[in-house]
Amino acid sequence: MKRKWWQDAIIYQVYLRSFKDSNNDGIGDFKGLTSKLDYLKNLGVNTVWVSPHYKSPMDDNGYDISDYFKVSKDYGNIDDVIDFIEKAHIRNMKVIFDLVLNHTSDEHEWFKAAKNPVHVDHHKYHDYYIWQTPKYDKQGNRQMPTQWRSWFGGPVWEYNPPTNEYYLHIFSKKMPDLNWHNDNMKRDLKDVARWWIDLGVDGFRVDASNHLEKDWSFPEGHPGYEYFSSLPKHHEYLEEFGVEVFKPNNVMAMGEAGGATKEEALKYCGFENDEFDMLIHFGHCWADCDDSNHITPGKWSKGQIDVLHIKKSFDKWFKMLNGDGWNLIYWHNHDHPRVISHYGNDSVYHNESGKMLAFCLYMMPGTPIVYQGEEIGMTNVDYHNLEDFRDVEVFTEYDNFLSFGATHEVAMQALRDRSRDNARSPFQWDATKYSGFSTTKPWMNINYNYKVINLENQLEDKSSLYNTHKELFKLRKEEKLNDGVLEFINMKDKNTIIYVNETETSKFLIITNFTTHKVIVDLDIELTGYRNIMYNYTARELLPKMKLLPYEALVYKKEK
Ligand code: GLC
Ligand code: CA
């Protein structure tokens, strides 16, 4: 396959709302982002993925789109977008936009017509969405078609009195799911993508891409995820979109999906397929859930970190795609807790564990995605009032926790540990009030620790997390780490992640301790010739038996 630009990319994910506010209304925007392009360029990333910027009532911070062709007034106008794309391109940077194909906002014109039987366009748009008539119990009470549960915690069905039907929403009730059996709907979405391609975007991240097909026999199930996630037919839709929209226009597409077999993985992002170029999968995420917790269950229960699980997932994906597809690597996105609070240690070992996580990930092959603020070690939020949170999911889940028996404090701790808001607090640029993000109180509170953890504090400090990331990105490019071959060592050790990334010219050995205690590692490989090029405590000679300090991490290089 001819080499593609995205194989040399280092992607930076921007959560627009919280990156940089240019007009001081407390909300991040395009002008703010454009003003930080030099910062990003200097950090060493070359591609920017922007979270949804379309017109939206912001029930789910823009993933609920009410007009695909308009820019949200919160973020600026179309000229600001054009200017951003131009200025990124001048700097040799690529632009990726988020493309939401699974649902619209309930305030989208299509849905307004669909739900209203007397609307002139009702017949045209009703079938753009997924409707079911009610069931009735013996007493004649209206019942939902199924007991399926939405990803945000409540039922997936919302009743619409004017048509006496329920519509399906697998996320919030303000996000009705689109009907991918409808050809006109598909045509309209393809036009949306083409319109943004014409404006100059280089790629898309396709939101919720494994949810497009549903089981139209609507079997009973609770939560019933298997009836609206990863059904075989969604591959057909993605392929159709790829063939008609992405490939002919030469734009990059990356999808998201939960698990996948090798066959499926290659369908999504094998070199020979037509769906995506790369896939964001979640194999290494949430490797610390406590299954015995039924009060704040599932992803909300923080337990012991399972390091084996993390490395097995990376190993599995590299083996599955080996030579037949291209890997994406990342720690987390806007739907997860901050990695330093999640898999590292955001208090005593902030700097050490931050570097350990950076070495561990950014020395691997593949195309990396850096999440905004990760490069300075931003942490989970420290909100103490429910009202401090913003995410739509938080509020349904908080009520669930209480109904399962959680106290207010237990529920709040689960939110601080696990909610999506952790990744969404404003960027900490400096120590001024509102952290240089804005001069007004932002839409969401700044993290309490911004006076200590901020970019300005780290710019001049050679040993800072910021400069460590910068050094790693430089090394990635110089050494063509994206192209290497990954091999894990000591696979069974539950405390460490150790691997070799072998490039054409060198071998890199990365040793990382994921625990707060000292661990001993035995290295049963050929050790001669390795030089220690990066470390988070002090430089160390490579030995067959090494005692690692808490979160110690070392990078060695050997020329071939
Ligand atoms: C994806 C997004 C998430 C959003 C959901 C619905 O999972 O990453 O933030 O809430 O889709 O669009
Ligand atoms: Ca603004």
100 lines ligand 1 (CB under 6 A): yes
Does residue 307 share a domain with residue 200? yes
**pLDDT tens column, 180-218:** 999 999 999 999 999 999 999 999 999 999 999 999 999
Residue 84, pLDDT score: 99
Q: How far is the CA of 207 from the centre of ligand 1 (A)?
A: 6
Residue 335 near ligand 1, beta carbon < 6 Å: yes
What average pLDDT is seen over the chain?
Answer: 97
Residue 499: pLDDT above 90?
A: yes
Which of 5, 253, 200, 207 shows the shortest CA–CA distance to 84? 200
Residues 152 and 219 in one domain: no
CA of 64 from ligand 1 middle (Å) equals: 9
How much is the average pLDDT of 528-544? 98
Read off the pLDDT band of 2 (50, 70, 90). confident
Write down the pLDDT at residue 1. Answer: 74
Q: What CATH number has the domain bearing residue 506?
A: 2.60.40.1180
Give the SS3 label for residue 245: helix
- Helix/strand number for the chain, H first, E second: 15, 22
In a domain, 159, yes or no: yes
**Does residue 270 carry a pLDDT above 80?**
yes
Ligand 2 centroid – CA 22 distance (Å): 5
Question: Does residue 204 fall inside a structural domain?
Answer: yes
The CATH number of the domain holding residue 125 is 3.90.400.10
Cα–Cα distance, 201 to 183 (Å, whole number): 25
Does one domain contain both 50 and 84? yes
Of ligand 1's atoms, which has the minimum distance to the CA of residue 171?
A: 6
Report CA dihedral (370, 376, 380, 381) to the nearest 10 degrees.
Answer: -120
Task: Report whether pLDDT(60) > 80.
Answer: yes
Single out the residue of 320, 322, 278 nearest to residue 47, CA to CA. 278
Single out the residue in 435, 469, 503 at which a domain terminates.
469
Could you give the residue numbers annotated as active site? 207, 256
Residue whose CA lies nearest to ligand 1 atom number 11? 208
For residues 220 and 325, membership in a common domain is answered with: yes
Q: 119, 142, 168 — which closes off a domain?
A: 168
CA of 77 to the centre of ligand 2 (A): 11
Protein residues with C-beta less than 5 angstroms from the ion ligand 2: 21, 23, 25, 27, 29
Domain boundary among 141, 168, 195: 168
Among 17, 151, 335, which is best to mutate for testing ligand 1, by the most ligand atoms less than 8 A from CB? 335
257/455: higher pLDDT? 455
Whether residue 192 is contained in a domain is answered as yes
Tokens of 453: 């953890």
Residue 175 counted as domain residue: no
Task: With 0.95 as the threshold, say if the pTM is over it.
Answer: yes
Let me know whether 29 and 86 are in one domain: yes
| Band of residue 258 on the pLDDT scale cut at 50, 70, 90 | confident
Which two tokens mark 146?
Answer: 């199924």
Ligand nearest to the CA of 21: 2
Residue 509 lies in domain: 481-559
Render 505-525 in DSSP notation, one character per residue.
SEEEEEEEE-SSS-EEEE--S
Q: If you average pLDDT over residues 292-301, what whole number do you get?
A: 96
Specify whether 457 is located in the same domain as 501. Answer: no
pLDDT at 349: 98
**56, 60, 371: which to mutate for ligand 1, most atoms within 8 A of CB?**
60
% pLDDT > 90, the chain:
99
Q: CA angle, corner 268, sides to 229 and 240, nearest 5?
A: 85
The predicted structure's pLDDT at residue 482: 97
Q: Is 60 in the pocket of ligand 1 (CB under 6 A)?
A: yes
208 lines ligand 1 (CB under 6 A): yes
Same domain, 453 and 546: no
Centre of ligand 1 from the C-alpha of residue 518, in Å = 39
Count of structural domains, the chain: 3
Q: What are the φ and ψ backbone dihedral angles of 207, each rounded to 5 degrees?
A: -70, 140
User: Containing H/E element for 280?
Assistant: strand 278-281
| Residue closest by Cα to atom 7 of ligand 1 | 208
In this prediction, residue 394 carries a pLDDT of 97
Regarding the beta carbon of 391 and ligand 1, being less than 6 Å apart is answered: no
Tell me, yes or no, whether 283 and 144 share the same domain: no
pLDDT band at 259 (very low <50, low <70, confident <90, very high): confident
| Residue 115 within a domain | yes
486 inside domain: yes
Nearest ligand atom owner, CA of 334: 1
76 CA distance to ligand 2 centroid (A)?
Answer: 8
Structural domain contains residue 444? no
**Alpha-carbon dihedral angle through residues 14, 19, 150, 123, given to the nearest 10 degrees:** -80
81-103: per-residue pLDDT in tens? Answer: 999 999 999 999 999 999 999 99
Residues 462 and 552 in one domain: no
CA distance 54 to 74: 10
> Rounded to an integer, what distance in angstroms lies between the CA atom of residue 259 and that of residue 270?
15
| Mean pLDDT of all residues in 383-399 | 97
Element (H, E) at 13: strand 11-14
In this structure, the residue with its CA closest to atom 3 of ligand 1 is 335
> Does the Cβ of 64 fall within 6 Å of ligand 1?
no
Residue 416 lies in a domain: no
Estimate the crossing angle of helix 262-269 against helix 234-241, to 10 degrees: 20
Same domain, 359 and 338: yes
Q: Which ligand 1 atom is at minimum distance from the Cα of 392? A: 10
Q: Do residues 54 and 125 both lie within one domain?
A: no
Residues 83 and 204 in one domain: yes
The span from the CA of 308 to the CA of 284, in Å, is: 10
